[in-house]
Structures are given as structure tokens and as C-alpha cells.
A and B are shown apart, each in its own frame.
Chain A
């Protein structure tokens, strides 16, 4: 935040309301970048552009009084900007580009998605059984790292990198959801073309944590070794995170209630009760020097992995515990279907007043949800320097500068470059094809769409 943070900006009453929001949409919201993103290069002059593309995209607005406006669509950035400014939505959701179903009955809005970003939604509230610092929609610096490692694991697998690269996608946007989680938008054209079955396959590929509220053991790892995805996640991310951070920050072994939950994951009752008795017997006093959590974890590991335990299931149990407590828990339904709506980046969360800013996956350890700019903070920063009001680039004077620049340089520009190349090569291929068919059949073809 640089120079801004030195001088505290004049106070703007804390909170979130329509008046503030109107100023935000008027002066700060990156309408142009936003629209360029969702146009995927089709807003250019190139003859290969599909001019109708962006107009098929569904937007959904939630207004102040919880009125839903679904099936909004815009043919130009001006149209979108005017509508946002006029309606001042408390929430903007992005749906898929759709076309009306061929069999739609008149009067009914039956739209079929034609493509869709591959999206992921991870909520911290789904981790309530493994965090003791907060619950529900609350987050703090102790539990947020669960989100951070989810980003690391998914990003490494989705994105093309040297050593870990399962899917080979390049254009991935991570965003803070404004309160309790993160969203991921995979925007490569290949990802946008996936059908529902393929989306479900990817979501399942990542899925380790299973079972509803009525099963004790939610992670079962079978087979003598782990699949490369899981092996890599474990050694590169999960193990260190569990042992170095989570164990202490959540005090996982500090009380009987807590360690009992872990012991319940051990399939051998004798071992579980042996450890249980041991820990019940020696209370804090005898192991005062070492941290009780680290000590007990070591004891558990030693017992399970000692030479005596021949059964593979028991050795694997250490990994299962780590996976149960740390591995990403995806909201599967969001990823599986093309027609799911997802909140747009740069919206403001009405409950927290925080902006849904992009997160840099390469520096996600540094992301702190409690310092994300809030609406009132941004307005304060605008007011602080009232002289330049009404300039085109008001956002540059606020804490939104960094997130917007990141969005542009790390995500938007490389993606639009790729879109342009794809458009051109598709267009050239089409030209070539029609030339060939002209040559082959020597007949005059009607030019389509003219």
C-alpha cells in the first residue's frame, strides 16, 4: 500500500451501503478489464472474432433488497458499465455464455450453456471439524492457511509447470471470495470447452475427502503407494503444513476431545486405546519442555510406523490423518456443472465490505484476508486526495491499485494474447479449409452468414 498507509486516510463511516457502492462502481470497479476478460478476444477487429460471443454471457445481479435479476447480458462494455452503475448490484454473479434451448417453450427462460470456465469454490466453513479457532464464516490467520494450501495443491496440478503439471492449463485466476473462501477460474479455451462429465472427472480427480456427517473416517487411501498427485501433495505441501503449522496453531492434541478425534481415525482399536491411556496418564507437567502437540504426534507416528506394524493399513494411517486435516475440500457441485453461477472478482462482499481481490498463487502465503481493502477504506483513500477527483485513474490512488495491476499483468494480458493467437490460427485454418474445398470441388460456395 506504500505511501497511502503512512498517513491514515480520513475516516469514512464503517460499513457497506448503496451510496458507497455507487461511488465504487463509478470510480473504482475495473469495468474495462472485466469486460475484456469475459470477451476472450472476441471484442476485437479481427475477422475471426465472434461478435455475438460476449452478448450471450449471463450475468446475474443481486440488488439491495435481495431481488435477483437473472439473465442479464451486455453487448458492449458501455452497456455493462451503465447497467452496473444504474442498478448498483450488491453482488454480481457470472454465469456461462448460453444459447436459448432449441425446444424452449415460449415465455420460459431455458438456456443451455455453450461453454464455461472451469471453476472451483473452496469454503473455510467446510473445515469446521478441523479448526478450533473459528467456525462458520469466520476466518483468522490460524485457519486461513488451509485455504492457502488448497490454492497451492490445485494450482500446481492445473497449471503448466515444470515438474508438476497434470492438466496443462495456463490462464488461471484465483480470487478471494470476500469472506470465507477462495474461487478459482480456469479460463483456457480448452477448459471452457469441457463438458459436464469431464468437469466432474477433474473434480473427482482432486477429491480425497469423502463422506457426509455420518461416517467417522472420511479419507481412505488404498494401494501400496499413492497416486503421483497425492504423493506430491503430501511430500511437497501437506506434511510440512500439518507438522509445522496446523498441529500448533489448532492445538490438535491439546485436549482429550481433540486427540480422541484423531485416534478415531486409527483402525486398530488396541493401538488407539494404548495411545489414549498413555496421554491421559501423563498430563502436561511431565512433558512441559516440548510442545504437547508435537510430542504426541511423534508418539503416534512412531507407534504406527514401527517395525511391529506389518499391516499396510496402519502405516498408511499417518498419511490419512494428515490428508483428513489438510487436503483441499472442494464444493464439488460448483465444478461439475456448466450452469453454476459464481461471484465475480472485484465485487464487494456485503457482510465484510471487502473486495473480492485476485490472489497471486505464487505468493499466496502472503495473502491475509484481514487486510484486504474494504469499501470504506477505499473511499477514505479517494477522499484523502480529493484534488484529483474525477480523473480516469482514480483506482491508482487506492489500495486497489495492486490487485488491478496484478489482474492485468499476471492474468488478463497473457490470456488475451493466447486468445488472439488462437483466433488467428482458427481463422486461418478455416480460410485454408474453404480454399481447399474450392480447389477440390471447383464449385462456388455460398459464403456463410452473409
Chain B
């Protein structure tokens, strides 16, 4: 892909129907296998990317709200129409391909970025594929060179009952679809994970309506490899060669989206050991209050809780020495301080980047917390998502939230708007509106702190005026 400053637009190859661009597609859905040979204006380079980011960000939001597949399909369709569709289908395709390859550059640069991009692009592709006609779905299958043939009649008859059982178990009608593909189970991990296929002797029996999973696995694999290669190219040449032109745009694009990651508390913000309980009452989001409470009660938290809560405290400004003292004070009551030093201190230092591969770990975002799967004995996760209704009501009452605001929160929870529920809780607890919405526990904390400080100043300044 050539990037030019010129105002001319030469994007003929991608607009044409045939090959040449190597993007590869059937119907309107490209597979992005090769970077297109076309010229792009610098402004479009950035604008297209921002539009696509809007789509991907919308998808991330939808996923974090736990939207069902049908709802996601609708959402993706709407997002796509709003941000990506242009009048001429050829131009839409052009924009599609260009924006994808620009974002590849933006998101190839760290493991975290790659993971996010891969996940969102795959989701986007999945739902766009579902909207394609059967015919173009088949074309895409052959484009990905999937070697599977439909299940022969005899074999089909032998397992028909089981196929019907699986279909009914996921709420479909008992009349079995007629076309199935028998594939190694490794090819359709999503269908295996949700028990939506019949498995036998290491094969999964995939219905025509589920073929999207096969294609998506292949798509994901291609993009994942491509991202690693792009990263190598970026590090080796592009970053330096483009340092005056593309590099600043690329870096700005990823920052603009991700916002602060809260891994380093803002300078001068520091919280001390003795203030934790006080801060928890005024400024911790429910998930963190709950874990602090359980920690004080049981003198223990399981791994998932230690990660979620420990990294939050780090982000809020708790220094390593204080963190060690904090956890030791609780854990030693249960396991003794010797065992604490041996078994738990390591992972706390690890979180602060002082052990192992010395990564300075980032506090968990709401999205990550919501998608957690707490198990037996776990207290982490998002209370709005993972608590039973009664427990959630009780916890909110304890925070002093009741009456109409409480019902509003519960209503958001029912509709799986967990972050909105948390935002409403913030508003109810602070008596102010929170327009930005809550996306991160550390954001909840710092907004609460800022607000309280402002209030204090107002109070202090009153007598003098």
C-alpha cells in the first residue's frame, strides 16, 4: 500500500471486481490476505482508520455488555452502515481494505494491542459473514481453501439422532439440517466450548449454519500470523523510515482509543496503607469494596481476586512496600507470615514488575473484569454481572443505595448494561452525574477522588468568602 500526500485518489485495483488487490473476497467481504497495491491519501489513511476503530470499539462495548449473538449481529450491521458504508460499493470495499491495513499497523506493536485487534476484527468478520448469502459463504469457504466435504448420507444417518439431540439442546428445532461437515474438533473451538456440536472420536459435526466457525478460525489464524509479521516489519523498517509521516499518526491512533491504562498512577497520587478503608468507603467501585470486605473477613483472597484487587490498588497509587504490608497483614492471620512471604509475596512483587519477566502489569479494565469467570470460592469479577440479584441488592444497600436509584440500577443489570449500572451507582453514591461513564475501576476511583477534593475545597473556601 502506497501512502501519498496527493489529493488524487488512485484506488482502482481495489475497486475493480477481480484480483490484483489480493485482498481476496467473495461478495462484499474481503479476507485481507495481501496488502492492496494502491495509493491512499494521508488524510484518508487516518480518517478511514478512525471510522473502523469506531466500529471495533462499538463491538468491544457490545461484547462487554454480554450481548447475545442476534443482538451482536444487529449491532455490527448498524455500526458498519453508519461508519463504513459509502454510496459506491466499490468505495466501501476500498475503505474497508485500507482501514483494515492501517489498523494492522497501529495494532501490531504490542501483544496487548494485537490481542484486542485480533479479537475485534474476528468478531466483525464473524457477523459480517453471517449476513452474507449462502452462495457467497460457500465462495468464502473455498477461498479459505477449507478441504471439507459434506457428510455422506450413510454416515449422516448413523449419527442423525445425536445431531438432532444437539440441535434441540441449543434450542433449535429437532429437524436436522441436511448438510454437515465432519472436521477435527480443533478447528471449531468456539462450538466445542459452548457444546453446540456433536463430538465423536475427535471429530466435530458442524452444520451448514455453523460453518462461520470454521471460516472464522481460519480468518483468525491468518490475521494473527500477519500481525506478527507486520510487527517485525514495523520494528525493522517502517517505524524509522516513516518517523516523520506515518509513525506519529499510528501512535496517536492507538493512544486516542485506548485512553490511559492506569498502570502508573498519575504523578503525585499516592495512597497510604492507613487510608485504604476510608478510601474504600468513599471512592472504591463495588467490585473492589466487596473484595476488600472479603479480604478483611476471611484474611484471604484467591488468585483471581488478588490480581484484580491488587492491580487496582497499584493503579490507585499503593506503593510496593505498602502493598506487601497490606497483604501480609491480612494473609498472615490465616496462613502465617512465613507462608505469606514464601507463597504470596512473590506474586505481589511480580505484579509490580519486580519478578519473572518483569512486566509492569496493567490494572484490569471493566471489560476484562466483566468477562471473567469466577469459580468456587472466588470473589472477583463484576458484581453487576456475577452476583445473584439478592446479593447485589444487599451489597448496594450496604453502600447506601436504595429506593428509586437502586431499581434503576437493577434494571440496567437486567438488560446487561453492567457498566451503566456501575455508572448509576457512582452517581447515586456521589450525588452528581457522571457523563463519561465508567470503563475502568481506577477511573471510578480517580473521578470520585477528584470530585471529593473539589467538594472539600468548596467547603473550605466558603467561610473566607
Contacts and interface: CB of A to CB of B under 8 A. Distances in A.
Interface of A: 66, 108-110, 126-129, 160, 165-169, 190, 194, 197-198, 200-202, 204-205, 209-217, 222-231, 329, 331-333
B169 A223 contact: yes
13 contacts: A109-B356, A127-B376, A160-B201, A168-B202, A198-B189, A201-B185, A205-B199, A211-B374, A212-B377, A216-B388, A216-B391, A223-B168, A224-B171
Contacts of B391: 214-216
Interface string B345-361: 00000000000111000
B210 to A, nearest CB: 14
A217 B171 contact: no
Given A212-B379, A216-B388, A223-B170, A190 B202 contact: yes
A214 B193 contact: no
Given A128-B376, A214-B290, 10 more contacts: A66-B342, A108-B358, A127-B376, A165-B200, A167-B199, A209-B376, A211-B375, A214-B383, A214-B387, A223-B170
Given A205-B195, A213-B379, A167 B170 contact: no
Contacts of A228: 162, 165-166, 169, 198
B200 to A, nearest CB: 6
B128 interface: no
Given A216-B388, A227-B165, A229-B195, A222 B186 contact: no
A205 B387 contact: no
Contact of B377 (A108, A126, A215): A126
Interface in B371-395: 373-381, 383, 386-388, 390-392
B309 to A, nearest CB: 14
A212 B373 CA distance: 8
B17 to A, nearest CB: 35
User: Which DSSP category, helix, strand, loop or mixed, fits chain B's interface?
Assistant: mixed
Nearest to B231: A103
Interface residues of B, number: 44
A238 to B, nearest CB: 16
Contacts of A224: 168-169, 171
A198 B190 CA distance: 9
B386 A214 contact: yes
Contacts of A200: 189, 193
A168 B290 CA distance: 44
Given A108-B358, A160-B201, A168-B201, A212 B165 contact: no
B192 interface: yes
Nearest to A212: B374
B171 A223 contact: yes
Interface of B: 162, 165-166, 168-171, 185-186, 189-190, 192-195, 198-203, 290, 303, 342-343, 356-358, 373-381, 383, 386-388, 390-392
A50 B387 CA distance: 51
A197 B224 CA distance: 13
B193 A126 contact: no
A129 B375 CA distance: 13
B165 A126 contact: no
B429 to A, nearest CB: 20
Contacts of B387: 214-215
Count chain A CB atoms within 10 A of each CB in B162, B171, B199 and give the residue with the most: B199
A129 B342 CA distance: 29
A406 B388 CA distance: 47
Nearest to B220: A197
A229 B203 CA distance: 14
Contacts of A205: 192-193, 195, 199
Count chain B CB atoms within 10 A of each CB in A127, A128, A205, A329 and give the residue with the most: A205
B357 A108 contact: yes
Contacts of B195: 205, 227, 229-230
A11 B43 CA distance: 85
A190 B184 CA distance: 11
B202 A211 contact: no
A167 B202 contact: yes
A225 B377 CA distance: 30
A166 B200 contact: yes
A99 B440 CA distance: 36
Contacts of B357: 108-110
A331 B198 CA distance: 24
A227 B186 contact: no
Nearest to B196: A227
A229 B193 CA distance: 12
A111 B194 CA distance: 31
Contacts of B201: 160, 165, 168
Contacts of A168: 200-203
Given A214-B388, A215-B386, A201 B358 contact: no
Contacts of B388: 211, 214-217
A227 B195 CA distance: 7
A128 B166 CA distance: 32
A332 B168 CA distance: 27
A213 B377 contact: yes
A225 B375 CA distance: 25
Given A66-B342, A215-B391, A225 B168 contact: yes
A213 B380 CA distance: 9
A126 B303 CA distance: 14
A222 B171 contact: yes
Count chain B CB atoms within 10 A of each CB in A201, A329, A333 and give the residue with the most: A201
Contacts of B381: 212
A438 B356 CA distance: 47
A168 B388 CA distance: 38
Contacts of A197: 189
Contacts of B199: 166-167, 205, 229
Contacts of A109: 356-357
Contacts of B185: 166-167, 198, 201
Given A212-B374, A332-B375, A201 B189 contact: yes
Contacts of A227: 165-166, 169-170, 195
Nearest to A108: B357
A73 to B, nearest CB: 18
A296 B383 CA distance: 34
B192 A225 contact: no
Contacts of B358: 108
Contacts of A66: 342-343
A332 B302 CA distance: 14
Given A168-B201, A227-B195, A211 B386 contact: yes
Nearest to A161: B201
Contacts of B165: 225, 227-228, 231
Contacts of A222: 171
Contacts of B377: 126, 128, 212-213
Contacts of B374: 211-213
A329 B375 CA distance: 9
Contacts of B200: 165-166, 168
Nearest to B235: A103
A255 B189 CA distance: 44
A156 to B, nearest CB: 12
A395 B93 CA distance: 71
A69 to B, nearest CB: 14
Lowest 6 CB-CB distances: which A-B pairs, in order? A212-B374, A168-B202, A201-B189, A204-B193, A166-B199, A212-B378
A210 B169 contact: no
A223 B193 CA distance: 16
Nearest to A194: B186
Contacts of A198: 185-186, 189, 192
A214 B169 contact: no
Contact of B373 (A108, A160, A210): A210
A266 to B, nearest CB: 14
Contacts of A210: 373, 375
A204 B194 contact: yes
Contacts of A127: 376
A299 to B, nearest CB: 26
A202 B171 contact: no
A201 B386 contact: no
Contacts of B186: 190, 194, 198
